[in-house]
Amino acid sequence: MPFIPHTDEDVAAMLGAIGVDAIESLFDEIPPSLRCGPLDVPVGESEMEVTAALSARASEDESGPCFLGAGAYDHYIPAAVWDICSRGEYMTAYTPYQAEASQGTLQLIHEFQTMMAALTGMEVANASVYDGASALAESVLMAVRANRRTRRRRGAGAGSESATIRVVVAGAVHPHYVETARNIVQSQGIRLEATGFDANGTVDLAGLGQSLAEPPAAVVVQQPNCLGLLEPVDEVVAAAQAAAALVIAVANPVALALLAPPGEWHERGADIVCGDGQPLGIPLSSGGPYFGYICTRREFVRQLPGRIVGLTEDREGRPGYALTLQAREQHIRRGKATSNICTNQGLLVTAATVYMSLLGAAGLRAVATRCHAATRALVAELTSIEGVRERHCGPFFHERVIDVGRDAGDVATQTAAAGVTGGLPLGRWYPELANCLLVCATERRSDADIAAYRDVLRRILARPRGQAAGLASEDDG
């Protein structure tokens, strides 16, 4: 009986104490018509057998160097990070409701909040939400609550069609983030309105100006944007503030070791900063578990969703930590809570906190600059191939769009067959970029990896179009 410790003697003694003959009797309140027979699943296996079977599947997915980013980055993770996270005291604890029995997790989260506030240039942070996309959704809801103008309108006619509240998405914000946010907020009378990006791949400031003619609740801008380009964030913040809209910044935390923090954009800065913490010591792991972070100004702290840890005192006057501002949360406020969110992503926050402690500001900056230099080297090598060019000319950080002159989806499939994860074919997001790959080189990519990718790409592009590796396609047109 996997993981069940009862001996036959235990069971007999326990049934005797309860006063029933059989375990089955304990289910006598379930109507017989609702009982089920054995589940239609295979018989159990030992840990050894399961490990062997799933290891075989895992090895199917092993591949060569990864040049794909697009919101999830293949950074080096120091050994100490997951050694510490795998300690049962972190991994098998629950939400720190009993503060006195959870000082480890609580202090760690408080240190995490401090680090995230420092990175983003904001005053406060929460204990995390699910991921970067859900952090954007929660930030949009938060901005609508925090913006005095929209808060009044919501109070007047929440939910009705006439009370639709707009949030403007400026420039190239990760499409999965926008889609997630839209799916989560749309039932609350909030509409996300994308202004798109111009030929430079960055926010269309004229288009943004038109969108702001009728002031929205907030403007969302991502830095660097999802095409790797640096947005004119000072201009975006200035325009938003002139329209009395709040600014929600989406930012890569590793980039923030190098780039101006959103809290300092155009003097007053962004109002809410959110993003995905995956670059801070979290494995790629097929997309999760990661964590989303949200930072803000102190004045908006009561609108912040999720867990928050505060420093307080115990009854002997010694400092200690506790969850705080719980009156915002669902377990107290129920239908009037700031969000339905219950958990944070505690284990991933643990990883990020250890990671940031090991790297420090200097180490994190070194990671950022190394990645950027590696990506520049990658772009130089790839564009040395005839017919491959950079799509945009503006400044970028550690991720770049290259035009390969033919369907990039086919090219990515062929690089994968050659053992290289060659980047994201952008046609699935933007049809006009169907010939483009979004490529990224982290600090893990060596010069040899980069040269290998260049050679693979050169071979693929030397073939006639539509011809897969070694096989002439029947329907090649």
Which of 463, 409, 397 minimizes the C-alpha distance to 437?
Answer: 409
Near another protein by CB under 8 A: residue from 149, 151, 176, 459: 176
Q: How far apart are CA 263 and CA 365, in angstroms?
A: 18
Closer residue to another protein in complex, CB, 174/215: 174
Near another protein by CB under 8 A: residue from 149, 200, 204, 320: 320
Q: Does 335 bind another protein (CB under 8 A)?
A: yes
State the nearest-atom distance from the C-beta of 125 to another protein, in Å.
7
Applying CB under 8 A, the span of 41-49, 144-152, 208-216, 240-248 interacting with another protein comes to 41-49
Closer residue to another protein in complex, CB, 211/278: 278
Closer residue to another protein in complex, CB, 211/375: 375
- Interface mask (CB under 8 A) for another protein, residues 100-119, using x and -? xxxxxx-xx-xx-xxx-xxx
* 299-302-303-304 Cα dihedral, nearest 10 degrees: 100
Which of 214, 48, 255, 19 minimizes the C-alpha distance to 132?
Answer: 255
Residue with tokens 């859900």: 134
C-alpha angle with apex 464: 463 to 465, nearest 5 degrees?
110
3-state secondary structure of 292: strand
Q: How far apart are CA 366 and CA 75, in angstroms?
A: 12
3-state secondary structure of 459: helix
Closer residue to another protein in complex, CB, 190/211: 190
The interface with another protein within residues 231-260 (CB under 8 A) comprises 234, 256-260
First to last CA, the chain: 60
Near another protein by CB under 8 A: residue from 194, 205, 238, 366: 366
Phi and psi, residue 217, nearest 5°: -70, -35
3-state secondary structure of 319: strand
State the nearest-atom distance from the C-beta of 210 to another protein, in Å.
26
- Interface mask (CB under 8 A) for another protein, residues 7-26, using x and -? ---xx-xxx-xxx---x--x
Closer residue to another protein in complex, CB, 162/286: 286
Near another protein by CB under 8 A: residue from 143, 144, 156, 180: 180
Could you count the other beta carbons within 10 Å of the beta carbon of residue 194?
17
The interface with another protein within residues 260-279 (CB under 8 A) comprises 260-261, 264, 276
Near another protein by CB under 8 A: residue from 21, 31, 448, 470: 31
Near another protein by CB under 8 A: residue from 8, 334, 431, 432: 334
Residue type, 467: Q
Residue type, 64: G
Closer residue to another protein in complex, CB, 211/359: 359
- Interface mask (CB under 8 A) for another protein, residues 367-406, using x and -? xxxxxxxx-x------------------x-x---------
State the DSSP code for 339: -
* DSSP calls for 56-75: HHHHHT--S-B---TT----
- Interface mask (CB under 8 A) for another protein, residues 113-152, using x and -? xxx-xxx-x-xxx-xx-xxxxx------------------
Return the half-sphere exposure (C-beta side, CA atoms, 13 A cut-off) of residue 436: 20
The interface with another protein within residues 199-238 (CB under 8 A) comprises 230, 234
Could you count the other beta carbons within 10 Å of the beta carbon of residue 2?
7
Q: Does 76 bind another protein (CB under 8 A)?
A: yes
Closer residue to another protein in complex, CB, 211/398: 398
Near another protein by CB under 8 A: residue from 324, 390, 406, 407: 324
What's the token pair of residue 137? 């959704």
Closer residue to another protein in complex, CB, 211/226: 226
Applying CB under 8 A, the span of 238-246, 385-393, 408-416, 451-459 interacting with another protein comes to 408-416
Element (H, E) at 208: helix 205-211
